[in-house]
Amino acid sequence: MTNSSGKIQMAHGTGGRLTRDLVAAVFGKKFSNVILDRMDDAAMLELEGRFAFTTDGHVVSPIFFPGGDIGRLSITGTVNDLAMMGATPLYISAGFIIEEGMPLADLERLALSMREAAGEAGVQVVAGDTKVVEKGAADRIFVNTSGIGLIPPGVHISGAGARPGDVVILSGPIGDHGIAIISQRQGMDFDVEIKSDCAPLGGLVRRMLDASPRLNVLRDPTRGGLAASLNEIAAASRVSVEIDESRVPMRAAVRAACELLGLDPLMLANEGKLVAFVAAQDAGRVLEAMRGSPLGAEAAIIGNVLGAEDPHLPSGRPCVCARTVMGSRRIIQMPSGEHLPRIC
Amino acid sequence: MTNSSGKIQMAHGTGGRLTRDLVAAVFGKKFSNVILDRMDDAAMLELEGRFAFTTDGHVVSPIFFPGGDIGRLSITGTVNDLAMMGATPLYISAGFIIEEGMPLADLERLALSMREAAGEAGVQVVAGDTKVVEKGAADRIFVNTSGIGLIPPGVHISGAGARPGDVVILSGPIGDHGIAIISQRQGMDFDVEIKSDCAPLGGLVRRMLDASPRLNVLRDPTRGGLAASLNEIAAASRVSVEIDESRVPMRAAVRAACELLGLDPLMLANEGKLVAFVAAQDAGRVLEAMRGSPLGAEAAIIGNVLGAEDPHLPSGRPCVCARTVMGSRRIIQMPSGEHLPRIC
């Protein structure tokens, strides 16, 4: 290792020998590929077609949690943003901001997680950057990842693409990531350990596109949960969305934790789930394709799209509402509070 | 504005209504373009050719300094990494990690700086992300930018491209950025204010490529300064580099500040300078082209490339050395200390 203290020092961030040694020892070996190994100011990529390009900062606390860590999350988070455009994720950049004093062993462990997640997702880490700030100027480590993915011809997926009549499909049970983080943070001990669902969704999306190229909207309900995603889609598409609460998949342990903590599961973050808006005639085919993948095994139709001004809805504007188990309807608002900071 | 306190709150980072409002109010309007305005999970880009892709985290302290701020720096830093591949910078992503309590007015000011710098550089900000952490978990704001640029056909620039006989050209006086930051940080008052040189170098590089497509190496000497850049190039190209100290352009005020503070100007960060390695027969043409641009007006030939084992060099391995004003030679080491943390 590059120093005897086993901890990150300020000198690891000044661009000199220690920076070079750290990058070589921790990142260079793990992410080795012909593009990264050139170690130039930028990676060189041959590209042709329509590409998705996205960026995501990760500040999750704690950095290690059941089912994952900030390293794994930083890969899956960005890969999933690309997948939500229907893109095949290809290239990732990783920027680290590290607090002085962080154990090098932790950094090694995060780099290994990133490599593993990149392998699962089929992406290459081709560019990186490392900065170090003084003790107390950051909380251990923040990881920014940006990504590039190829959008296949004929695929046109956008938050503005929902149409009245579309069927809303959710890929699996919600809330796992949110509850995993909260329980770890608060030292809570449930009978059943709830693990983060963080996983790369590119493979699932490819299966779905094979079943139907007419996916209108895909979104991964991360920060703000399903409530935020559905509200964003309704607003962008100028439609209303109605879901049936009883059909939303959820683990019993997550439901119990939400009741205990007074949390709305629709507002909990997920890191390995997606919601899809699909033309009704293709919904069965897409659902079947999803269920054939481990990451979509519990996929379910949870609702459908109405016109913005459908008379069955309680308001005259685009909105999201849920039929409750009691048979009534309630509006699902865009979350506004600060109940779950640093969830991703 | 989105709240009455005029400060960033934790709720600005939870992905709900306040996040959406903040992004719309501060970033959406300033960076408005057809790609960003879709507000999907990723930007959609039509690309064909060879592209450079890079990422850079910015943690400079203080965030406002003479000649720039962390917003301007975050654009120019990434644009310059692309330009050092000979690429025309095109698209930028911006990821913000903001400390709770940061004044919204400061964030507005940084966003304006970014827009201005993006305009100068001719790039579009097409993707973004905003996270908020608790007071004390970050130092005001960190900005990660990633970028994509198009490499013209026939251009093959790399740190490994230096050849014995190449001429080393520096685009202008060194050390301005480093001294600007240090003097601001330490509350020092020089007779002449030294401003950061932070500026986008894409236009200068295009002029140079028009003069000669045979640029072998380009690098912007940021963290670690000219000393780090030359050592990286020597190592990657397996050559030795000899510069003439008396030819390295430097402002009198920077020289005086270095003497006062005991700093080696070769190790000071620059944010609007480049060093080029050019075949000898093209050096005159390239130098003339550089001097025709405001950002290269003081460009100078500062040295040349020797074989790794040139008998004039004091060591038998690839190295960087300087002929001193006294006529002797000294080895320029890769910087190893922590003398200038958080310079960019």
DSSP structure string for A83-112:
HTTT-EEEEEEEEEEEETT-BHHHHHHHHH
The alpha carbon of residue A81 and the mean position of all alpha carbons in its chain are separated, in whole angstroms, by 7
**Residue B38's pLDDT is what?**
81
Confidence check: pLDDT of B157 > 80 = yes
**Residue B339's pLDDT is what?**
67
Q: Which amino acid, residue B88?
A: T
Please calculate the CA angle A218-B54-B269 and round it to the nearest 5 degrees. Answer: 140
Q: Do B45 and A51 touch (CB under 8 A)?
A: yes
Q: Do B142 and A97 touch (CB under 8 A)?
A: yes
Q: Name the DSSP class of B63.
A: S
**Residue A66's pLDDT is what?**
95
Residue A313 confidence class, pLDDT cut points 50, 70, 90:
low
Q: Which residues of A touch B14 (CB under 8 A)?
A: 223-224, 335, 337-341, 343
Q: Which residues of A touch B95 (CB under 8 A)?
A: 55-57, 95, 144, 146
Residue B225 confidence class, pLDDT cut points 50, 70, 90:
very high
Give helix then strand counts, H and E, for chain A: 8, 13
DSSP H helices in chain A: 17-22, 70-83, 104-121, 176-185, 202-211, 225-237, 252-261, 280-291
Confidence check: pLDDT of B151 > 70 = yes
Give yes or no for a contact between A257 and A180, defined as CB atoms under 8 angstroms apart: no
- H/E run at residue B169: strand B167-170
Q: What percentage of residues in chain B have a pLDDT greater than 90? A: 79
**Residue A1's pLDDT is what?**
41
Give the nearest chain A residue to B9 (CA atoms).
A338
| Residue pLDDT, tens place only, A102-156 | 999 999 999 999 999 999 999 999 999 999 999 999 999 999 999 999 999 999 9
Burial tier of A194 (Cβ tally within 10 Å: 0-12, 13-18, 19+):
buried
Q: Write down all domains in chain A, each with its CATH number in brackets.
A: 10-151 (3.30.1330.10), 167-331 (3.90.650.10)
Q: What percentage of residues in chain A have a pLDDT greater than 90? A: 79
Confidence check: pLDDT of A258 > 70 = yes
Q: List CB contacts of A34: < 8 A, sequence separation 6 or more.
A: none
Confidence check: pLDDT of A314 > 70 = no
Phi, psi values for residue B196, rounded to 5°: -60, 145
**Residue B232's pLDDT is what?**
94
Q: Which residues of B touch A219 (CB under 8 A)?
A: 41
Nearest to A145 by CA among B78, B35, B140, B144: B144
Nearest to A45 by CA among B46, B50, B44: B50
| Residue pLDDT, tens place only, B16-64 | 888 888 888 888 888 888 888 887 889 999 999 999 999 999 999 999 9
Pairing of strands B88-99, B275-278: unpaired
| Residue pLDDT, tens place only, A146-201 | 999 999 999 999 999 999 999 999 999 999 999 999 999 888 877 788 999 999 99
User: If you count residue pairs, one on A and one on B, with CB atoms under 8 Å apart, how many are there?
Assistant: 298
Q: Name the DSSP class of A39.
A: -
**Residue B315's pLDDT is what?**
65
| Residue pLDDT, tens place only, B106-125 | 999 999 999 999 999 999 99
**Residue A59's pLDDT is what?**
97
Give the nearest chain A residue to B344 (CA atoms).
A131
DSSP-derived 3-state class of residue B224: coil
Q: Which residues of A touch B129 (CB under 8 A)?
A: 55-57, 144
Mean pLDDT of chain A: 93
Nearest to B217 by CA among B157, B294, B167, B259: B157
**Residue A4's pLDDT is what?**
61
- % helix, strand, coil for chain B, step of 5: 35, 25, 40
Nearest to A188 by CA among A66, A292, A101, A106: A66
Query: From CA A127, how far away is CA A42, in angstroms rounded?
Result: 7
A38, A87, A93: residue with CB nearest B53: A93
Q: Do B144 and A148 touch (CB under 8 A)?
A: no
Give the nearest chain B residue to A267 (CA atoms).
B16
Phi, psi values for residue B204, rounded to 5°: -60, -45
Nearest to A278 by CA among A298, A303, A297: A303
B61, B85, B142: residue with CB nearest A40: B85
**Residue B307's pLDDT is what?**
82
- H/E run at residue B111: helix B104-121
Query: From CA A339, how far away is CA A268, in angstroms rounded?
Result: 10
Nearest to B18 by CA among B33, B1, B31, B37: B1
Give yes or no for a contact between A212 and A277, defined as CB atoms under 8 angstroms apart: no
Q: Which residues of A touch B85 (CB under 8 A)?
A: 40-42, 44
**Residue A91's pLDDT is what?**
98
* A88-99: strand order across its sheet: A124-133, A88-99, A141-151, A43-58, B43-58, B141-151, B88-99, B124-133
Q: What percentage of residues in chain B have a pLDDT greater than 70? A: 97
B15, B138, B159: residue with CB nearest A228: B15
Q: List CB contacts of B42: < 8 A, sequence separation 6 or more.
A: A52, A53, A54, A81, A82, A84, A85, A87, A147, A149, B127
DSSP-derived 3-state class of residue B86: coil
- H/E run at residue B43: strand B43-58
Q: Which amino acid, residue B194?
A: I
**Residue A5's pLDDT is what?**
81
> Distance, in angstroms, between B137 CA and closest chain A CA?
5
> Distance, in angstroms, between A80 CA and closest chain B CA?
9
Give yes or no for a contact between A256 and A274, defined as CB atoms under 8 angstroms apart: no
Nearest to B24 by CA among A317, A232, A101, A314: A232
Q: Do B335 and A16 touch (CB under 8 A)?
A: yes
Query: From CA A220, how far away is CA A218, in angstroms rounded?
Result: 7
Give yes or no for a contact between A168 and A51, defined as CB atoms under 8 angstroms apart: no
**Residue A286's pLDDT is what?**
98
Q: Do A159 and B81 touch (CB under 8 A)?
A: no
Q: Which residues of B touch A132 (CB under 8 A)?
A: 341
**Angstrom distances, CA of residue B87 to CA of A127, A157, A193, A242, B233:** 16, 30, 50, 48, 19
> Distance, in angstroms, between A326 CA and closest chain B CA?
27
Identify the bridge partners of residue A93 per DSSP, sorted by sequence position: A127, A146
Give the ipTM of the model, two decimals please: 0.95
**Residue B17's pLDDT is what?**
85
First to last CA, chain A: 29
Q: Which residues of A touch B87 (CB under 8 A)?
A: 42
**Angstrom distances, CA of residue A22 to CA of A18, A29, B115, B334, B340:** 6, 11, 34, 14, 18
Mean pLDDT, residues B266-284 = 97
Give yes or no for a contact between A118 and B45, defined as CB atoms under 8 angstroms apart: no
Give the nearest chain B residue to A84 (CA atoms).
B41
**Residue A3's pLDDT is what?**
54
Query: From CA A326, how far away is CA B148, in angstroms rounded?
Result: 52
The alpha carbon of residue A18 and the mean position of all alpha carbons in its chain are separated, in whole angstroms, by 33
Query: From CA B4, how far away is CA A332, in angstroms rounded?
Result: 26
Q: Which residues of B touch A41 (CB under 8 A)?
A: 52, 54, 80-82, 84-85, 159, 219-220
Interface mutation target, options B48, B55, B232, chain A, most CBs of A under 10 Å: B55
Confidence check: pLDDT of A315 > 70 = no
Query: From CA A203, how far away is CA A201, in angstroms rounded?
Result: 6
Confidence check: pLDDT of B263 > 60 = yes
> Distance, in angstroms, between A229 CA and closest chain B CA?
9
Phi, psi values for residue A61, rounded to 5°: -135, 125
Confidence check: pLDDT of A339 > 80 = no
Confidence check: pLDDT of A298 > 80 = yes
